[in-house]
Amino acid sequence: MSDMTACPIPPIGRSLWQDARIRLLRNRAAVASLIVLALMMLACVLGPLLTGHPYDRVYQDYVRVPASLSSYPKAEALPGAVQRIASRIRATPSEVVAEATHVRLVLASQRPIDQRLLVYFDRSDQFGTPVITGSEQEGRRLSLDVPIKRQYFLFGTDSNGRDLLTRTLIAGRVSLAIGLLATGVALVIGVVYGATAGYLGGRIDMVMMRIVDVLYSLPFIFFVILLVVFFGRNFILMFIAVGAIEWLDMARIVRGQALSIRRQDYVLAAEALGVSTGGILRRHVIPNTLGPVVVYVTLLVPKVILLESFLSFLGLGIQEPMTSWGVLISDGARAIQATPWMLIFPATFLVTTLFALNFLGDGLRDALDPRDR
């Protein structure tokens, strides 16, 4: 009994991943990036439900309105809007009194006003259903009390009059989804291919890497464009296409790792025990290549998002009314002089995300490879 207590408790070792986590959490830029990314994802997933505008709702009366914290319609725009609607009813407005939630006015006309035409107020984005408070001269003068519909466009609207905030958030969903899905595809193909080539080695390795070299020399846009043409600009297939092109680097990195891993004692032991090749790959080779792979993945996601925006710039990306940051930015870049907010907001979102991903990638690299710091 006393012998047992004399035995010192062995210190609990820290695994590579625990070590890496501690180092990562000490890196302020990386932690900040993690928080920013989490907030960005939350905003993009939940945000479109909270803005009060569907992403494809067109507000004909609010085309290209600038970003504003106060609500639309603006007080100075009301008389003009009333005038436009009144002229469609073929009447002239007078005594227009604008209040916070209502506009009171009197419509006058040569002939009796057809009250069915008042529906034009309803149809506009600025007003609700008018209430007739008084009718004079056999319907030639109508006193109206029209409620104002208050709308917020915090980021302004685009050239079709759609709320840019909602569209930016929806675009974020698409861009992030593309980034993650395409990276996932690249990850799976690259890791399996690279690990197989590296572990098997010899002639098979040479042939497999030669294929990678050949694919490397092909202009990658060529593939993307061909795939886009094949798949007819299908949303999900395009991610897969992009992922199928971005796996080359991954395969090279993993192969390099696998080449050194296959000579490790534990792999030799597994071979001696008669574990199948697939089993060794799954159980020993692939898990041990994950360090550099994780780093590369965080750097690949921004690359894919940029690639998607490049395709969208060429007009090969996501199709309307769906949208992505790339689509929004290329629309904004075309109209940069007249409507700068159409470029500024999506570009800020994109660049913030890419910044965060890059800093996170750097932080992960430092955390997993402590030699650098």
* Closer to another protein by Cβ: residue 67 or 98: 67
Residue 309 Cβ, how far from another protein at the closest point, in Å? 6
Quick one: 27 or 157, whose CB is closer to another protein? Answer: 27
Crossing angle of helices 290-313/325-334, nearest 10°?
40
How far apart, in whole angstroms, are the C-alpha atoms of residue 104 and residue 127?
Answer: 12
The Cα 108–Cα 237 span in angstroms is 59
Side-chain half-sphere CA neighbours of 337 within 13 A: 0
Q: Is 67 exposed, middle or buried (0-12, 13-18, 19+ CB in 10 A)?
A: middle
Mapping DSSP to helix (H, G, I), strand (E, B) and coil, where does residue 141 land?
strand
What is the smallest separation between the CB atom of 216 and another protein, expressed in angstroms? 7
And the tokens for 349?
């979102």
CB of 354 to another protein, least distance (A): 4
236 vs 351 by CB, closer to another protein: 351
User: Whole-number minimum distance, CB 337 to another protein, in Å?
Assistant: 6
Q: Which is nearer to another protein, 271 or 369 (CB)?
A: 369
Residues 27-56 as b/e (b if ≥16 CB within 10 A, e otherwise) read beebeebbebbeebeebbeebbeebebebe
Min. distance of Cβ 175 from another protein in angstroms?
Answer: 12
Q: Tell me how far, at minimum, the Cβ of 214 lies from another protein, in Å.
A: 5
Residues forming contacts to another protein in the complex (CB under 8 A) are 213-214, 216-219, 221-223, 225-226, 229-230, 302, 306, 309-310, 313-314, 326, 329-330, 333-334, 336-337, 343, 347, 350-351, 354-355, 358-359, 362, 372
Q: Which is nearer to another protein, 284 or 365 (CB)?
A: 365
Task: Confirm if 258 and 264 have CB atoms less than 8 A apart.
Answer: no
Q: Smaller CB distance to another protein: residue 86 or 350? A: 350
Distance (Å, rounded) from C-alpha 69 to C-alpha 71? Answer: 7
